[in-house]
Structure 1
Amino acid sequence: MKPWYEQSFGSDYMLVYKHRDWENANKEASKMIAWLELAEGSHVLDIGCGMGRHSLALANLGYTVTGMDLSTTLLDEAHRHDEDGLVEWVKGDMRELPFEAERFDATVNLFTSFGYFTAEEDNVSVLRHIRRVLRIDGCFLIDFLNPIYVAQTLVPQSERIDEETGLLIQEARSIANGWVQKGISIFNPDKEEKPRQYLEQVRLYNLDWFENNLDACSLRIDKLYGNYDGSKYDPEASPRMIMTGRAKR
């Protein structure tokens, strides 16, 4: 059986997450990229770019952008939105980035596109490859969930009707064995049909884990933010754990 991340990031993913709009992506990308203090034209790699919202926002801000994802379906959607060919779209696995060493001025990893893999070494390998493709003193940004906040605020169940298709989307969330998990069921409530079901899960890595493993991969954290508004990180109250830093020599 394929791992969850090869099953979940398809056409139904675009249905489940259609509420993530492009206008907000522009605002988020503009705010976060400013924290890296990059020169215009800097070459940025968006790791786990999905449908390309943030990659295109970065390109429109004047950066040279490569968007990479494992999902052909999501990359096709990204191509569809990129009418002017602003971004280089690449299919690839974040555990082994398909780029030469020291190619990029910066890498970004947004909306918890990290911690997918069961083997600890696979998640560390993502960090190791980030360092490999960054130029000396190149910047990185990792936007991850705050595991303490997640445990305090997790909504066990929710459901909604997609107005366009009439499909019912049910989501069940839980925390178990160091993972936050979400089971997704999609079906037409007016028909007797078997639901389409998916699982998403992310390792609940804390700040210590990132500090230790980034350092081991010759990356250092310079600043830590608690949300997209640039607020200071609070271990108990911040929704996000957004780390920015540089490649060490």
Structure 2
Amino acid sequence: MTKDTTQWYASWFDTPYYHILYKDRDYKEAQQFMDTLTQYLNLPEQASVLDLACGKGRHSLYLNTLGYDVTGVDLSENSIAYAKQYENDSLRFEVHDMCKPFNKTFDAVFNLFTSFGYFEHEADNLRTIEAIKANLNTYGFGVIDFMNTDYVIDNLVTKDVKTVAGIDFCQERYVKDGYIIKDISFTDAGKDYSFQERVKALTLSDFMELFDKAGVYLLDVFGDYKLHSFDKQSSERLVMIFK
């Protein structure tokens, strides 16, 4: 069996199976979120936006259609290679480690769809917040869209099977050592595979501590993609706006 859990995000995100498993993600919901968020932030025309951990660029592409100058960055070379086919004068993609500052500042830095908390070392979470701060211009906003950990744990589906493109993905979920973990196993073309997703079970108070250490200021907290108020028990998302 092929298994890789070391720096899981670097290996799993670069496989075609990751994109097969999640190919039915809701693009309409993502676009509506970007509409609502950019209107709320009142970003200037042709504002510069950094999409941090952009994956294949679904948010970047849509933000660009709204008239923004967008840079999408991700650690996955395969995802960036795919996204580069859509580049234009106001849309570009680069391989980049989110723990490190990018080489310019932006009107907004978006870290979307729980693309945070993957790291083995706690210090990397703080380094990422500090990097976002360094990437913001004087009037820029940082946005982190994370899961609401309390809600996720309370509603955890411990085991299920998802069949996509003829592949049965067996998924087991549990909480261990402060992480929400999903073990994914499947067989394709007679070969067995096993991968693991592992995300730090960060709460709002954890983020507030990180923000305090990084010297950024939390401005607003929302609980869903329509920017309704955050509720620890019932909100599915934790959307934080800071500068």
Asked if Structure 1 and Structure 2 have the same fold, meaning a TM-score greater than 0.5 normalized by the shorter chain, the answer is: yes
* Structure 1 residue ranges (4+ consecutive) displaced by more than 4 angstroms after TM superposition: 83-86
Structure 1 residue 86: Cα displacement: 4.5
Structure 1 residue 13: Cα displacement: 1.1
For 2:127, the equivalent position in structure 1 comes to 125
For 1:26, the equivalent position in structure 2 comes to 31
Unaligned runs of 5+ in 1: none
Percent identity of paired positions between Structure 1 and Structure 2: 34
RMSD across aligned positions (CA): 1.6
In the TM superposition, 1:139-178 aligns within 5 A as 139-162=141-164, 165-178=165-178
- Cα distance in 2, alignment partners of residues 85 and 132 from structure 1: 24
- Cα distance in 1, alignment partners of residues 7 and 65 from structure 2: 34
Indicate whether 1:87 and 2:84 are aligned.
no
For 1:222, the equivalent position in structure 2 comes to 219
Indicate whether 1:77 and 2:79 are aligned.
no
- Cα distance in 1, alignment partners of residues 168 and 154 from structure 2: 27
Greater alpha carbon shift after TM alignment, 125-134 vs 205-214: 205-214
Indicate whether 1:233 and 2:230 are aligned.
yes
Deviations 1:126-164 (A, max 9, x none): 0000011111231011001111101100101111222xx
Could you tell me whether the CA contact under 8 Å between 1:116 and 1:203 is conserved in 2? yes
Could you tell me whether the CA contact under 8 Å between 2:102 and 2:131 is conserved in 1? no
For 1:67, the equivalent position in structure 2 comes to 72
What is the total number of aligned residue pairs between the two structures? 238
Could you tell me whether the CA contact under 8 Å between 1:111 and 1:143 is conserved in 2? yes
State the AA in 2 paired with 1:98.
F
SS of the aligned residue for 1:149 comes to helix
Could you tell me whether the CA contact under 8 Å between 1:178 and 1:203 is conserved in 2? yes
Indicate whether 1:56 and 2:53 are aligned.
no
Could you tell me whether the CA contact under 8 Å between 2:48 and 2:106 is conserved in 1? yes
Structure 1 residue 83: Cα displacement: 6.4
Structure 1 residue 27: Cα displacement: 1.7
SS of the aligned residue for 2:80 comes to helix
Could you tell me whether the CA contact under 8 Å between 1:36 and 1:244 is conserved in 2? no
State the AA in 2 paired with 1:173.
R
State the AA in 2 paired with 1:186.
F
- Cα distance in 2, alignment partners of residues 62 and 183 from structure 1: 39
State the AA in 2 paired with 1:51.
K
State the AA in 2 paired with 1:55.
S
For 2:114, the equivalent position in structure 1 comes to 112
State the AA in 1 paired with 2:239.
I
State the AA in 2 paired with 1:228.
Y
Indicate whether 1:40 and 2:37 are aligned.
no
- Cα distance in 2, alignment partners of residues 30 and 172 from structure 1: 34
Could you tell me whether the CA contact under 8 Å between 1:48 and 1:109 is conserved in 2? yes
Could you tell me whether the CA contact under 8 Å between 2:211 and 2:217 is conserved in 1? yes
Greater alpha carbon shift after TM alignment, 130-139 vs 27-36: 27-36
Provide TM-score, normalisation by structure 1.
0.90
- Cα distance in 1, alignment partners of residues 225 and 178 from structure 2: 25
For 2:136, the equivalent position in structure 1 comes to 134
For 1:201, the equivalent position in structure 2 comes to 198
